[in-house]
């Protein structure tokens, strides 16, 4: 059955108040799908009723996958005991994600309803800055001691696995919770029962600290094919772990942010359909306004050149094509460089390699475009060979300059620790437009009686 | 020590022929880093020498992480016995990735040097089309039978785990290798030794078929937080599994492809610094050429309007600002919609929701921009209130039309099963330019004596 048809059926159960059928349907469903169904419901009341049809354990997992506004409605509709049950089952990373979105009074009520030791961890985890490794880690992991045997370790895993988010990498800690090494369950299964953990653990652990940038951490998952990574404080004490599913989310979010910045928008916090019109307006209007104002400046340069070109109307007609071509070529280069840096194919020290490569690409592209344009203009305007030549040379030079600027700008931003996508993209067209016009004017002045 | 300094040290060992020191340094290093070091070496000969300093097991893992051209150099430099050793250790997905990049004569030599049963699997896996689930799966997984006990299963895992890419999800197969269910190692550890696999296995398995689109599969990993997913044929026989690390690579590649398409480039196959200038040229010139030619069309429309506007030079000056603003607004919308569809926040059935939302955002943005422009022009050109009004209304309408077109185009492409990023992005500016100019002209004609 198609998922949408399935959702329609569930919706019917809800409307006809066939809660037993709804309950039965839920037990066979994946929790992520149930969360999507509940999130998509138009009425807050229905969402709460649907949520109440879930069993205790499934309830917590569905809850973790709901959007913040639906979580808030549910919290406001349930009593303290129900809230406690959900919070008991929730993993720390999901609880932190939720608390960061909720209004202060709801947060207070939630924190009042968690066990004191959990409250301490939650309060600690809530302190980590946005976009830090600390902000995406969880506290549920298996810890072992060096003097345990493999048999002890497996017993400990069997005893505690049920409430851990991931069990396949275990962390070996000393008495002060310093991270001494890691042991995978695979390694445990391949060892003898009486082997000592200290003998089989891997001491050369890849790890990050709480304040590391979440993007860098997510990139380590992708580069080294990790499933989890431990997060330590400055004294190498283990405070949490990050799992690959959260790293995947970060990679997706960071890519989305780059798309938004490169299209001259402020980054969004929510999925598109969940954002209200005013938020979208606020994200989009600043750059639109800046670019409109800077467009008037280009317009006035343009106006001056146009009057200089008065005697050669053909030159005026070619202006939009010239600036557009420069903008397109520059945009190709800056997108390539910005994305290349985001996925670490390009590092700041590659600056000269990149410029040298872009220069050669620009010579080829600019040459081909100039040539085609020259042929086109000679076919259409046989008597204007000098103007055709002027326009073609201008196209060639504009592409070369556009590609150079478009590789310098994002790499320079990176070297200055600025955000390449933000610095290099929206302003690029305006800058390239100005460069194209000035180049055009200078060439025309040199070649034609202006 | 910084990684670059470390690489410099390794390079020195290599140049001074201190191969023992290099060997020692390698044993403490991560295989991904070693592969990067070898890939970065300028000389093919040095790359081969460095590779020979690796032990057998580390060698295969480093080999799997090398770029295709380095793999080829190494294969050409080693003898059949060494090649056999590497191929024995390589996982099927890595071997397939490599074989797809190598020239035919090298592929023949490689296939001659793998065990006959592996050769059969490799030949089968090489048949799956690019971008299909089959093309990214691997053949190394743990299979169990329904009548095994937990104790049997753990014994089987212990016996075979060493050569499997992942062991934490085991696949329960019947005699004809139909997929009956899955059991995680966590579940095994939480069960009693004499529990039957058929009693503890999860029969409601999320799975894909060999020909499913790899992007859809990768998206399932991100949505459902999966670590592996089984791949079955049409008869539900298990043929392979996909692991999360490969899904992450697909998500990253697909995002990069969308960046490239939206910046009017053909998608690249390799990291930027590995691409030669001619390939970059070939990826970029088609759209540059198309857009340059279509730019001349806009140019000629523009030319005609400009002469109509002769009596109102102020209107001419505002043309670039108007078309740029329309282009920027449209680009914001199309980027939002294309990315939203890529991460499944927006589905084709949301068409009217999206258009309605974009319309309201456009009314706000267009209104704000028009108003600010009106004030600016009234301050600068006090006597031209009618022209200022004309330009401002044109800005408002252009933004509204641009956002509408920019939401329709990618969603329409998706509904017609075309690629939204390809269809909607590069041509958008040209289309919006034409719309902006015609709108401007019509308004001017209605309001002014043209």
Look up residue B193 and give its two tokens: 């030794």
pLDDT(B1) > 50: no
Which of A58, A225, A407 is best to mutate for the B interface (most B CBs within 10 A)? A225
Q: Does A373 touch chain B (CB under 8 A)?
A: yes
Look up residue A41 and give its two tokens: 């419901």
Residue A319 with chain B: CB contacts under 8 Å: 299
Report the DSSP pairing between strands A169-173 and A179-184. Answer: antiparallel
Q: Please choose, from the candidates B100, B114, B427, the residue with its C-alpha nearest in 3D space to the C-alpha of residue B294.
A: B427
Question: Domain A272-447 falls in which CATH fold?
Answer: Tetracycline Repressor; domain 2 (1.10.357)
| Amino acid A2: pLDDT | 61
Q: CA nearest B159 in A: which residue? A: A190
Residue B349 with chain A: CB contacts under 8 Å: 4
Q: Does B343 touch chain A (CB under 8 A)?
A: yes
Query: Is the full-model pTM beyond 0.90?
Result: no
pLDDT(A117) > 90: no
| Amino acid B97: pLDDT | 86
Which of A266, A280, A363 is best to mutate for the B interface (most B CBs within 10 A)? A280
Highest mean pLDDT pick, A296-305, A312-321, B410-419: B410-419
A residues 86-145 closer than 8 Å to B (CB): none
> How close, in Å, is residue B15 to chain A by CA atoms?
22
pLDDT(B3) > 70: no
Higher pLDDT, B269 or A13: A13
> How close, in Å, is residue B369 to chain A by CA atoms?
6
| Domain spans, chain B | 3-127, 143-262, 272-447
Residue B224 with chain A: CB contacts under 8 Å: 30, 32
Encode A351-378: b = buried (16+ Cβ within 10 Å), e = exposed: beebbebbebbbbbbbbbbbebbbebbe
Q: Does B357 touch chain A (CB under 8 A)?
A: yes
State mean pLDDT over A200-226.
93
State mean pLDDT over A186-200.
93
Per-residue pLDDT tens for A428-441? Answer: 888 898 899 999 99
B residues 387-406 closer than 8 Å to A (CB): 395, 399
| Amino acid A162: pLDDT | 79
Dmax (CA) of chain A: 94
Residue B259 with chain A: CB contacts under 8 Å: 258-259, 262, 335, 339
State mean pLDDT over A2-19.
83
Distance CA A61, CA A89 (A): 8
Q: 3-state SS string over B103-163?
A: CHHHHHHHHHCCCHHHHHHHHHHHCCCCCEHHHHCECCCCEECCCCEHHHHHHHHHHHHHH
Length of chain A: 450
What residues pair up with B138 in beta bridges, in sequence order? B241
What residues pair up with A181 in beta bridges, in sequence order? A172
Q: Please choose, from the candidates B87, B40, B24, the residue with its C-alpha nearest in 3D space to the C-alpha of residue B59.
A: B87
Q: Does B356 touch chain A (CB under 8 A)?
A: no
Q: Please choose, from the candidates A180, A240, A176, the residue with its C-alpha nearest in 3D space to the C-alpha of residue A212.
A: A240
Interchain CB distance below 8 Å, A320 and B328: no
Interchain CB distance below 8 Å, B190 and A158: yes
Helix (H) or strand (E) holding B184: strand B179-184
| Confidence label for B333 from pLDDT (cuts 50, 70 and 90) | very high
Q: How many CB pairs under 8 A join A and B?
A: 284
Q: Where are the alpha helices (DSSP H) in B201-318?
A: 214-224, 244-262, 277-308, 313-317
Q: CA nearest A253 in B: which residue? A: B343
> How close, in Å, is residue B62 to chain A by CA atoms?
12
Interchain CB distance below 8 Å, B292 and A365: no
Distance CA A344, CA A321 (A): 34
State mean pLDDT over B351-358.
94
Q: Does B299 touch chain A (CB under 8 A)?
A: yes
Q: Does A359 touch chain B (CB under 8 A)?
A: no
Residue A256 with chain B: CB contacts under 8 Å: 339, 343
Distance CA A5, CA A1 (A): 7
Q: Sheet holding A179-184: strands in order across?
A: A143-144, A169-173, A179-184
Percent share of chain B, pLDDT over 90: 52
pLDDT(A26) > 50: yes
Those residues with Cβ within 8 angstroms of residue B186's Cβ, 6 or more apart along the chain or in another chain: A161, A167, A168, B168
pLDDT(A210) > 90: yes
Q: Please choose, from the candidates B293, B333, B329, B298, the residue with its C-alpha nearest in 3D space to the C-alpha of residue B420.
A: B333
- Region for B225 from its dihedrals, namely left if φ exceeds 0, alpha if ψ lies in -120 to 50, beta otherwise: left
Q: Please choose, from the candidates A343, A336, A344, the residue with its C-alpha nearest in 3D space to the C-alpha of residue A407.
A: A336
Interchain CB distance below 8 Å, B328 and A280: no
When the pLDDT of each residue in chain A is averaged and rounded to a whole number, the result is 90
Question: Domain B143-262 falls in which CATH fold?
Answer: CBS-domain (3.10.580)
pLDDT(A4) > 80: no
Q: CA nearest A32 in B: which residue? A: B224
For domain B3-127, the CATH class is mainly alpha
> How close, in Å, is residue B276 to chain A by CA atoms?
8
Say if residues B240 and B164 touch (Cβ distance below 8 Å): no
When the pLDDT of each residue in chain B is averaged and rounded to a whole number, the result is 90
| Amino acid B228: pLDDT | 94
Interchain CB distance below 8 Å, B395 and A292: yes
| Amino acid A102: pLDDT | 87
State mean pLDDT over A304-330.
85
Say if residues B222 and B250 touch (Cβ distance below 8 Å): no
Distance CA B420, CA B16 (A): 54
Per-residue pLDDT tens for A53-102? Answer: 898 878 888 999 998 889 999 999 888 888 888 888 888 888 888 888 88
State mean pLDDT over A441-450.
89
Per-residue pLDDT tens for B109-155? Answer: 988 888 888 888 888 888 899 889 999 998 889 999 999 999 999 99
Distance CA A165, CA A92 (A): 9
Interchain CB distance below 8 Å, A264 and B332: yes
Q: Does B359 touch chain A (CB under 8 A)?
A: no
Per-residue pLDDT tens for A36-45? Answer: 999 888 888 8
Percent share of chain A, pLDDT over 90: 52
Interchain CB distance below 8 Å, A350 and B303: no
State mean pLDDT over B244-265.
92
> How close, in Å, is residue B251 to chain A by CA atoms?
8
């Amino acid at each position: 059955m198609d998922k949408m048809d399935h959702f329609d059926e569930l919706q019917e159960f809800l409307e006809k108040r066939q809660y037993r059928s709804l309950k039965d349907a839920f037990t066979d469903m994946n929790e992520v799908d149930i969360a999507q169904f509940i999130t998509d419901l138009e009425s807050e009341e229905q969402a709460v009723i649907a949520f109440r049809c879930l069993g205790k354990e499934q309830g917590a997992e569905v809850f973790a996958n709901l959007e913040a506004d639906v979580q808030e409605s549910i919290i406001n509709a349930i009593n303290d005991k129900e809230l406690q049950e959900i919070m008991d089952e929730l993993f720390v990373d999901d609880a932190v994600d939720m608390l960061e979105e909720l209004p202060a009074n709801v947060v207070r009520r939630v924190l009042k309803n968690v066990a004191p030791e959990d409250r301490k961890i939650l309060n600690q985890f809530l302190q980590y800055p946005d976009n830090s490794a600390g902000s995406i880690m969880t506290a549920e992991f298996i810890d072992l001691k060096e003097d345990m045997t493999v048999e002890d370790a497996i017993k400990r895993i069997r005893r505690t696995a049920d409430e851990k988010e991931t069990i396949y990498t275990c962390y070996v800690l000393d008495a002060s919770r310093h991270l001494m090494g890691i042991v995978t369950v695979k390694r445990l299964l391949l060892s003898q029962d009486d082997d000592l953990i200290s003998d089989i653990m891997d001491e050369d652990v890849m790890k990050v600290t709480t304040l590391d940038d979440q993007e860098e951490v997510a990139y380590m998952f992708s580069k080294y094919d990790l499933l989890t990574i431990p997060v330590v404080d400055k004294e190498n004490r283990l405070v949490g772990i990050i799992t690959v599913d959260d790293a995947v989310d970060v990679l997706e979010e960071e890519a989305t942010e780059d798309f938004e910045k490169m299209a001259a928008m402020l980054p969004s916090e929510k999925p598109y359909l969940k954002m209200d019109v005013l938020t979208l307006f606020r994200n989009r209007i600043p750059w639109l306004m800046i670019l409109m104002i800077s467009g008037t400046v280009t317009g006035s340069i343009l106006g001056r050149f146009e009057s200089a070109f008065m005697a050669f109307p053909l030159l005026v007609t070619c202006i939009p094509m010239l600036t557009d071509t420069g903008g397109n070529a520059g945009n190709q280069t800056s997108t390539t460089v910005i994305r290349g840096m985001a996925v670490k194919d390009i590092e700041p020290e590659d600056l000269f390699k990149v410029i040298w490569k872009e220069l050669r690409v620009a010579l080829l592209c600019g040459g081909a475009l100039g040539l085609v344009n020259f042929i086109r203009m000679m076919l259409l305007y046989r008597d204007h060979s000098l103007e055709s030549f002027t326009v073609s040379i201008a196209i060639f030079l504009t592409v070369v300059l556009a590609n150079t600027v478009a590789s310098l700008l994002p790499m320079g931003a990176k070297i200055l620790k600025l955000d390449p996508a933000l610095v290099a993209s929206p302003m690029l067209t305006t800058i390239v437009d100005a460069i194209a016009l000035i180049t055009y004017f200078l060439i025309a002045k040199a070649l034609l009686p202006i």
